[in-house]
Amino acid sequence: MKILILFAPILLLALSPFESPKPNVFNTSVYETKETKETNMASKNEKINCRYVCDKKIYKEQQISNAVSYYKKLQR
């Protein structure tokens, strides 16, 4: 009887096996996705795309070199 009284709140608050969980709904209308002439021209421009990729690579290489120099200072 004591065990039943101890587990009663857990049993009462437990989810039924027949209940389905709430689906994860992501509202993408929050993001601005308007297409303009400028954005279309920029996406088709190879120079802009190349610059974006190159800048990302340079930034990543700079972060790696900063980390390497930091750990070299620690070893001294």
Contacts 24+ apart (CB under 8 A), 12-16: none
The pLDDT profile of the chain, 76 residues, written as one tens digit per residue, is: 788 788 777 776 665 666 666 667 766 666 666 778 887 787 788 877 777 778 888 888 888 888 888 888 887 6
Domain ranges of the chain: 46-76
pTM of the model as a whole: 0.36
| Rounded Cα distance, 7 and 1, in Å | 10
